[in-house]
Amino acid sequence: MDALWEIGSGTVSDVAAVLDVPLAYSSVLTTLRILEKKGYLAHEKEGRAFVYRPLVGREQARQNAVAHLLHRFFQNSPELLMLDLIGDGKVKADELARIKARIERAKK
């Protein structure tokens, strides 16, 4: 998705060219087809190639992913997710301060 958000739309070869890691054409194609089936992408035929374009933005995709994560692993509990994230010690002090400020704003 990042590749398509970056370039706007493109063929399988276009997407493969902007990826950080080299992947086989067939792997990129399979991934694009899966994303299309899930409703994240659409394609149009231009000549002999399919041109893929995102149907959802980064924010919507992020929200969908978090909702899936909450449902699948945290019994739909944002609290359990936050406790797990904070409890592993990987959240930096400045990040915790921003989280705390956001929580304070949400209370109002």
What integer best gives the mean pLDDT of the chain?
A: 94
Measured distance CA(95)–CA(63) in Å, rounded: 19
Helix, strand, coil: what percent of the chain each, to 5? 60, 10, 25
Q: In the predicted model, is pLDDT for residue 108 greater than 90?
A: no
pLDDT for position 98: 93
Q: Give every CB contact of residue 53 below 8 A, 6+ residues apart in sequence.
A: 4, 8, 9, 41, 42, 43, 44
Phi and psi, residue 55, nearest 5°: -100, -15
Domains of the chain by start residue, with CATH: 2-54 (1.10.10.10), 77-108 (no CATH)
**Which residues make beta-bridge pairs with 49?**
46
Higher pLDDT, 107 or 42: 42
Asked if 6 and 18 touch (Cβ cutoff 8 Å), the reply is yes
* Coil, strand or helix at 45: strand
Span 73-99, pLDDT tens digits: 999 999 999 889 888 788 888 998 998
pLDDT at position 86, please? 86
Which pLDDT does position 85 carry in this prediction?
86
Determine the pLDDT at residue 91. Answer: 87
- pLDDT tens per residue across span 2-52: 999 999 999 999 999 999 899 999 999 999 999 999 999 999 999 999 999
Res 63: pLDDT? 94
Phi/psi region, residue 24 (left: phi>0; alpha: psi -120 to 50; beta: rest), is beta
- pTM, two decimals, is 0.75
